[in-house]
Amino acid sequence: MKRRETVEQWFKSLQDSICSELEALDGGSQFREDLWNRPSGGGGRTRVITNGQLIEKGGVNFSAVHGPLPEKIQHSLKLPPSEFYGTGVSIVLHPENPWVPIIHMNVRYFETSGKNPEDPSTWWIGGGIDLTPHYVSREDGKHIHSSLKTVCDNIDEQYYSRFKKWADDYFYLKHRDETRGVGGIFYDRLNDQSENKSFDELWDFHQQVGEAFVPIYRHYAEKHRDKKPTEVAKNWQMVRRGRYVEFNLVWDKGTKFGLDTNGRTESILMSMPPQANWYYDQQPEEGTPEAETLKWLKKDIDWIGND
């Protein structure tokens, strides 16, 4: 129980600090908070910011839920009937300006306990940060990857390449043959058995990932927010937001898990942009910034190197 309390309180404090820093960075809007309870156990704090000077729509959500593990998830995790507990913070920011990227972070803790003494119990952490620019440049891709490599190297020099590859494969729209953006890092089901590291070591890494979010996003906001958008850029932003919607509703496991565990729909779908467009067979003209962006939406790009 002590571990749950420690983890849960830190996630709440992370939500508080990130909301405060984002309000200051935005300078024009504040978060609205909805407190909610889950009928079968637990609840959360959904915080949404809209119509800001920087952020058109964004959410910073905390949740801590528990109860019987749904049968569908039991099968996917290869577990017997169990009780589960899950807590974490999830963030998606959709900027007003198309030159500023979309950013996503999730940091979570999950555990299960069997209903019988002989049944297995487990715990793990998972999450990561990834960036979805509407317009991609190597320079912008390099910054997030360099920042996250520093975090990973603090615990294990193999983590960055491993988790970067995991993000490339996870944030991938198979039906479009595109990555969602420039990626970042993604990891799941890390525990003492999978990593040969203690809970304290893994938890320290997890905290460093959470604390890296605001400095990374501040870099892009300050770099791009004053660049004037054109009508072409705004239209392209709507197209790229459409791709974001497609990933979240078709491929994202977090969305599916939330719905499968009877989570709060408004909180689960907080990641949706306020507006998006789909044009039939839309093909950017060769040589345009839009066409150049599509060339970067591939797996296994070495953003830190020179390829």
- Looking at the annotation, which residues are catalytic? 104
For the four alpha carbons of 140, 145, 146 and 151, in that order, the dihedral sign comes to: positive
Q: Kindly report the CA angle at 91 between 89 and 170, in degrees rounded to 5?
A: 95
| Alpha helices (H) in the chain, listed in sequence order | 2-26, 71-77, 138-153, 159-170, 192-195, 199-224, 231-250, 253-260, 265-268, 289-296
Three-state DSSP class for residue 33: strand
- Total number of residues shown for the chain: 307
Q: What residues does 91 pair with on adjacent strands? A: 60, 105
Nearest to 58 by CA among 244, 286, 227: 244
Separation of CA 206 from chain center: 13
